[in-house]
């Protein structure tokens, strides 16, 4: 029985997650000949303040720039 674990930084809609499950299942059926009823897929959403890359939290990397970073007005 194939078991697939997917982690996403942030969130996805129910429709997006349903599509991911369908696509992953289809791939395992096509490529490995697995029974679709046996394919198990778990999607875990990781809050961006709990995930970092390159030494920076994803929440900080994707945050809008502060007003102080804006160019001064003329």
Q: d(Cα 74, Cα 65) in Å, to the nearest integer?
A: 20
Q: Is 2 a catalytic residue?
A: yes
Residue tagged active-site, from 2, 36, 64, 72: 2
Residues designated as active site: 2
């Amino acid at each position: 029985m194939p078991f697939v674990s997917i982690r996403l930084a942030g969130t996805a809609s129910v429709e997006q997650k349903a599509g991911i499950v369908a696509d992953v299942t289809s791939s395992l059926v096509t490529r490995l000949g697995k029974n679709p009823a046996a394919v198990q897929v778990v999607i875990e959403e990781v809050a961006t303040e709990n995930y970092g890359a390159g030494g920076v939290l994803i929440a900080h990397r994707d945050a809008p720039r502060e007003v102080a970073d804006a160019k001064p007005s003329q």
